[in-house]
Amino acid sequence: MKFGSQLSAELRGKHGKRSVRPRVGDSVKIVRGEFKGIEGKITRVDSFSGVVNVEGVTHEKLKGGTAPVPIHSSNVVVTALTLEDKQRKHKLEVAA
């Protein structure tokens, strides 16, 4: 399934791309929904449903404890990229 997240204005100018596929370790800011305005790193990506889990975004369970809240990838803006993957780094450099 195809899905992606917008890049921040700074990254858009630097890499010449409008959106990227989110990956674990990317820093994001939530721009829509109940958790709007929260910034954090992506801890998990579910490519089947197109959702990401952001650190610090949780809800209380009925029996106690917390659970991560899935956020759709279109509702976040990537503010910092992880470029440890050589293929991803090359793909972004070619676009610029």
pLDDT, tens digit (0-9, with 9 covering 90-100), for 8-44: 999 999 999 999 999 999 999 999 999 999 999 999 9
**Domain total in the chain:** 1
- Do 13 and 55 form a contact (C-beta atoms < 8 A)? no
The Cα–Cα gap between 83 and 80 comes to: 9
**What pTM does this model have?**
0.89
Strands (E), the chain: 5-7, 19-20, 27-30, 39-46, 51-60, 66-72, 76-80
Q: How does pLDDT run across 48-73, given as a tens digit for each residue?
A: 999 999 999 999 999 999 999 999 99
Which domain CATH number covers 59?
2.30.30.30
Query: What tokens does 51 get?
Result: 């959702």
Backbone angles phi, psi at 40, to 5 degrees: 180, 180
What residue numbers bound the domain in which 31 lies?
A: 5-95
Residue 44 amino acid letter? R
